[in-house]
């Protein structure tokens, strides 16, 4: 199934509607784009979105800071950085292995042009009891 858009209806009083329209005009957006931005922010932050004036962003309101901040232990940050470095190293190794495989394929292609390759499974099917083959 694809990602289908759904319609959401809002009921606001006339004053709020006019304020929203002014906000949309200031931001050079449609009114529906303002709501889409709000809904996207609401979903992205698991419902923890609060509309505050721009002048209050980052200030304490109601005893809590908005937007919410979380302290992360240094050990977590270091482990994350270590894992990123390890992932980069593994990507480099993968690229080296891919180059090695490509080089081997080129060598096999070059040799297959020069010599006849005998598949042993096919050889068993064609082999009579009296025939012998020497590999070398």
pLDDT tens for each residue of the chain, 136 residues long: 567 777 777 788 888 888 888 888 888 888 888 888 878 888 887 777 776 677 766 655 566 666 667 788 889 889 999 999 999 999 999 999 999 999 999 988 887 666 666 677 776 666 665 666 666 6
Domain ranges of the chain: 14-58, 74-126
Q: Return d(Cα 114, Cα 34) in angstroms, integer.
A: 68
> Which 3 state secondary structure label does DSSP give 69?
coil
pLDDT of residue 65: 62
Q: Return d(Cα 88, Cα 68) in angstroms, integer.
A: 31
| Cβ neighbourhood burial of 76 (10 Å; 0-12, 13-18, 19+) | exposed
The owner of tokens 């889409």 is 36
pLDDT of residue 27: 81
| Contacts (Cβ under 8 Å, ≥6 apart) of 41 | 49
pLDDT of residue 17: 85
């Amino acid at each position: 199934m694809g990602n289908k858009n759904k319609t959401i209806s809002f009921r606001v009083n006339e004053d709020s509607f006019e304020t929203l329209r002014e906000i949309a005009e200031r931001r050079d957006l449609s009114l529906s784009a303002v709501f889409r931005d709000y809904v996207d922010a609401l979903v992205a932050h698991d419902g923890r979105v609060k509309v505050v004036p721009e002048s209050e962003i980052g200030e304490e309101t109601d005893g809590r800071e908005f937007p919410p901040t979380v302290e992360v232990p240094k050990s977590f940050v270091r482990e994350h950085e270590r894992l990123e470095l390890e992932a980069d190293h593994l990507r480099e190794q993968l690229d080296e292995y891919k180059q090695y495989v490509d080089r081997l394929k080129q060598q096999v292609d070059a040799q297959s042009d020069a010599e006849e390759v005998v598949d042993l499974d096919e050889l068993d099917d064609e082999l009579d009891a009296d025939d012998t083959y020497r590999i070398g």
